[in-house]
Amino acid sequence: MKKFIAIVAALFVLCSCAWAADLAPGEEEAINGKRLFFEGEQEEAFAEFQKSADKGFPDGFSWIGLFYLDGIHVERDYDKGLELINKGIDLGSSDGLALLGMAYIEGKVQGVPQNIPLGIEYLEKAISVENPSGYAFFLVGVAYGEGLGEGRYSNIAYMQKALEMLEKAYALGFLPAEEEIGRIKGSIEIEEEIEMDKIMETVYSAKDLMQDVRSNQMRFDRNYSGKTFIISGYVGRIEEKGKQYAAQIFGEAGSGANPFNYIECRFDESQVDALLDLNRGSFVMVMGTYKGKQDFQSAEFVLFDCEIVK
């Protein structure tokens, strides 16, 4: 847990906000406690959290629990720490769920074995309560940004999840999220470039792919189903199909193309401008996902979620 505390402490900058007049009893003390905690004033922070807990505010109990778990300003007592964090959770503490989630992720707390999936589950519970805190969203974002969600999301997908959480944390006034947002955005751009480079390494000729599917549909399905790849060919008819747009891609240009041998590529609204720039018979490269043989298809096969690459 100290690793994540250190991240927050290094970034923490408080905005000067006007306190709402209807703060719950003990809430102002909890907010003060967090400010002091991240400023490194642990003794004063503990006193504020104690005042918060004395007034029955959930986060007060959870943060005192953290002090006992990590032995900050007090003698380390795992049992008491977990008891106080759980008491805060029972009272509705978003921070308590987040702190317990980090305890499971790091596996450094006696009585809380490392269990990353369970830790992620607690973090997600922390942002699902009635009044989730910016700090909880921040910890969820940092967890995904550090790759602790791996196995549930692809690299880009869990970084996008991290970005979503960090932006919510920032919107709730947790300003340290701003620096992490910049870092995650940069990482996403790099991963997207790497992903595209990998895809571009293999561009399939529409003519060759159609020959493959005609030779053996079952083998084609096993080799390509669920995969995203790029095809190259020549533009045929482009038309609207319901809420989607479809373009025929032929293996040959001009009069030599068999009008019944083509690949159908399905596009969404985001690709309309790119489709409007195409001309019948022009060379094109399209990236799409093959989802298996479709009922009533007239094309050799259909690609979905397509994008014009070139």
Each domain of the chain, given as residue ranges in start order, spans 2-196, 203-308
Whether residue 47 contacts residue 26, with contact meaning beta carbons closer than 8 Å, is answered with no
Fold of 203-308: OB fold (Dihydrolipoamide Acetyltransferase, E2P) (2.40.50)
Provide the pLDDT for residue 154.
52
Q: Are 250 and 261 in contact (CB under 8 A)?
A: yes
Contact status, residue 203 vs residue 285, Cβ threshold 8 Å: yes
The domain 2-196 having CATH identifier 3.40.50.2300: the answer here is no
Report whether 194 contacts 165 (CB < 8 A).
no
At residue 171, the pLDDT reads 92
Cβ neighbours, 10 Å, residue 121: 14
**Euclidean distance between CA atoms 215 and 174, whole angstroms:** 59
Contacts 24+ apart (CB under 8 A), 44-51: 46/72, 46/73, 46/74, 51/26
DSSP for 193-256, written as a single string: HHHHHHHHT-EEEHHHHHHHHHH-HHHHHHHHTT-EEEEEEEEEEEEEETTEEEEEEESS-GGG
Query: Rounded CA gap, 199 and 159, in Å?
Result: 20
- Tokens 């990236």 belong to residue: 287
Per-residue pLDDT of the chain (310 residues; tens, 9 = 90+): 554 554 454 444 344 343 444 788 999 999 899 888 888 899 999 999 999 999 999 999 999 999 998 889 899 999 999 999 999 999 999 999 999 998 888 887 777 888 888 888 999 899 998 888 888 999 888 888 777 655 554 577 778 888 999 999 999 888 778 888 988 888 888 777 777 676 666 788 998 999 998 899 999 999 999 988 999 999 999 998 888 899 999 988 765 567 778 999 999 999 999 999 999 889 999 999 999 887 767 788 999 999 998 7
- The pLDDT value recorded for residue 149 is 56
Q: What DSSP element (H or E) covers 63?
A: helix 58-70
Q: Tell me, what's the pLDDT at 17?
A: 41
Cα–Cα distance between 256 and 250 in angstroms, integer? 10
From the number of C-beta atoms within 10 Å of its C-beta (0-12, 13-18, 19+), residue 216 rates as exposed
Q: State the Cα–Cα distance between residues 238 and 262, nearest whole angstrom.
A: 12
